[in-house]
Amino acid sequence: MALGQMIKTWFQGLRFKSRNQQLPHPSVQSNGLNFRFAASDDIRSLLDIERDVFEALPWTFSYFQHEISGNSRAVFIVSENSEKILGYIGLRWNRSLTDFHISNFAVRKAFQNKGIGSQLLKAAEDLSSYLKITHLTLEVSRPDLTAQGFYRKRGFESARILTAYYNDGRDAIEMEKELKLEL
């Protein structure tokens, strides 16, 4: 996916974000879908997906708002068709810009298994390689073997178990993927 222009505009946008203004909305087309960075007026749609997909502990409005409008080290990429947002991936990076943490990742149930999640993950990896970030990390619920399988197939490995990580007592597995920097 050609993210070059989108990423450049996004960098310019970061300066606005730190002044609590909106990020610009550059976008790219891929396989009939539009990919762009989320803005605060997308949060209602993201909440809609969140409720559709996560049975336990969906993110709240203020959590999305913090990551999209407040936290200058976080960003969300959304995928949409001509009607609505179909999925999103949230990324947060560390101070030294070596790691991206996948904070949230979901595709509407009715649109799963059509390749949208793979494309969102690829967009996150393209963004990582543009920024020369070498590690992607995430937490996944320990009983959720489907999501773990999805990540394993795409190069992630289990790093450690986080006991009682979620408020409801479930353990999480921390997974990570080392990205090869193209020289």
Ligand X SMILES: CC(C)(COP(=O)(O)OP(=O)(O)OC[C@H]1O[C@@H](n2cnc3c(N)ncnc32)[C@H](O)[C@@H]1OP(=O)(O)O)[C@@H](O)C(=O)NCCC(=O)NCCS
Nearer to ligand X, 82 or 113 (CB): 113
Nearer to ligand X, 38 or 116 (CB): 116
Task: State the nearest-atom distance from the C-beta of 175 to ligand X, in Å.
Answer: 8
Task: State the nearest-atom distance from the C-beta of 15 to ligand X, in Å.
Answer: 31
Task: State the nearest-atom distance from the C-beta of 11 to ligand X, in Å.
Answer: 26
From residue 93, alpha-carbon distances to 37, 99, 120 in Å are 15, 6, 17
* Cα(82)–Cα(33) distance, integer angstroms: 8
**The tokens 């979901």 sit on which residue?**
106
* Cα(34)–Cα(78) distance, integer angstroms: 8
Task: State the nearest-atom distance from the C-beta of 78 to ligand X, in Å.
Answer: 13
Please list the residues that pair with 78 across neighbouring strands. Answer: 36, 88
- Name the site residues for ligand X (rule: CB under 6 A): 53, 105-107, 112-118, 138, 140, 144, 147, 150, 153
Q: Which helix (H) or strand (E) holds 126?
A: helix 116-130
Nearer to ligand X, 43 or 124 (CB): 124
Nearer to ligand X, 24 or 152 (CB): 152
